[in-house]
């Protein structure tokens, strides 16, 4: 009978809600219900009106966001293309365009352009003396799981996550897989990108790659020696480099195994040690934190071995 009494009361012209909706903690819900009980349908708010009124509880908004995220993460969802179309149809904002231009790097001076051209000419001549050909690299390709951190990622209207080059290693590997290898020795000049924390135009850095690729493993040591020889010739080609402090990063599995031998790291422990060291400078992983993890009882690398490992100055992705 109590339910029937309440339903009869709200059907009256001057209807009232139960007393519970007169309390401060339920007043908002009562206001929403009263607006939906107007005798004239035209005076009742639509679902869109309610969503924009700010009266709905937060958990309802969370549910809307959850469904939207589910729709955009599932390419088979019927709402997928609608969401993408809405995202890419947003009008351009003059304020954002102006801020983007202000953050952009300024133009190069004539002297810098001339110097860059001269450096490129000398490097090209040096690479060609080694029999290398200038090739192309992809500047936009599907997201690679090989990279993390400040990688510049983009979304196209079809929902494909793309990325700009972080370096030219993966673009070169992709061209090799596609059968575009014209020569076992190649070089390429281009620009790599880094995402900025504050947003805006990504940071740009010039990069030149010299690569040797071969299916023959019998003379890999000779090819590796040639790469080091090319670096040596570059320092000789430009006199200011002779007196400059330089750091060469060598990344080779055989070198790593020799280091593990020298540091007396047992064979069963090497995979986990190498994996942990590979996180150096990624996120919050400093050398001290890596050392503490390797010293933990779960791994238990001797402190003498860790002291020897520190001597080799491992470098992570700090760029």
Give per-residue pLDDT as tens, 76-127. Answer: 777 777 777 777 777 767 666 666 666 666 677 888 889 889 999 999 999 9
The 3-state DSSP class for residue 175 equals: helix
- Tokens matching residue 112: 């810098």
- Residue with the two structure tokens 């009980």: 37
- Going by C-alpha positions, the residue among 257, 247, 185 that lies closest to residue 222 is 185
User: Kind of pairing, strands 141-142 and 161-163?
Assistant: antiparallel
pLDDT tens column, 12-27: 777 778 888 878 888 8
| pLDDT attached to residue 63 | 67
Query: Pick the residue with more confidence: 96 or 263?
Result: 263
pLDDT tens column, 41-52: 888 888 888 877
pTM over 0.85? The answer is no
Which ranges of the chain does DSSP label H, i.e. alpha helix? Answer: 2-11, 27-36, 47-53, 58-73, 80-88, 94-103, 110-129, 169-177, 220-237, 239-242, 253-262, 270-277, 287-295, 303-310
- Residue with the two structure tokens 């993966």: 170
- Tokens matching residue 86: 């809405």
pLDDT band for 319, please (50, 70, 90 cuts): very low
| pLDDT attached to residue 57 | 64
Q: Rounded CA gap, 191 and 290, in Å?
A: 32
CB 308 within 8 A of CB 263: yes
């Amino acid at each position: 009978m109590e339910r029937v009494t309440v339903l009869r009361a709200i059907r009256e012209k001057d209807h009232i809600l139960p007393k519970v909706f007169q309390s401060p903690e339920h007043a908002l819900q009562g206001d929403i219900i009263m607006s939906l009980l107007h005798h004239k349908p035209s005076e009742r708010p639509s679902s869109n009106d309610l969503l924009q009124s700010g009266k709905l509880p937060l958990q309802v908004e969370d549910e809307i966001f959850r469904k939207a995220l589910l729709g955009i993460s599932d390419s088979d969802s019927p709402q997928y293309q609608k969401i993408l179309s809405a995202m890419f149809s947003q009008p351009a904002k003059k304020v954002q365009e102006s801020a983007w231009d202000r953050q952009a790097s300024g133009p190069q001076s004539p002297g810098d352009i001339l110097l860059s051209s001269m450096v490129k000419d000398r490097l090209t001549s040096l690479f060609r003396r080694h029999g290398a050909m200038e090739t192309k690299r992809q500047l936009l390709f599907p997201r690679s799981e090989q990279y993390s951190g400040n990688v510049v990622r983009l979304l196209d209207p079809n929902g494909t996550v793309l990325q700009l080059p972080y370096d030219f290693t993966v673009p070169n590997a992709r061209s090799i897989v596609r059968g575009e290898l014209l020569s076992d020795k190649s070089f390429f000049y281009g620009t790599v990108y880094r995402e900025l924390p504050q947003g805006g135009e990504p940071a740009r850095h010039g990069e030149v790659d010299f690569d040797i690729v071969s299916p023959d493993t019998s003379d890999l040591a000779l090819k590796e020696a040639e790469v080091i020889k090319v670096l040596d010739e570059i320092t000789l080609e430009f006199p200011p480099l002779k007196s400059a402090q330089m750091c060469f990063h060598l990344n080779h599995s055989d070198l790593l195994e020799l280091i593990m031998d020298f540091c007396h790291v047992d064979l069963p422990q090497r995979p986990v040690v190498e994996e942990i060291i590979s996180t150096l400078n990624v996120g919050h992983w400093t050398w001290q934190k890596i050392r503490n993890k390797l010293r933990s009882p779960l791994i238990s690398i001797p402190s003498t071995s860790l002291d020897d490992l520190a001597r080799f100055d491992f470098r992570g992705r700090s760029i």
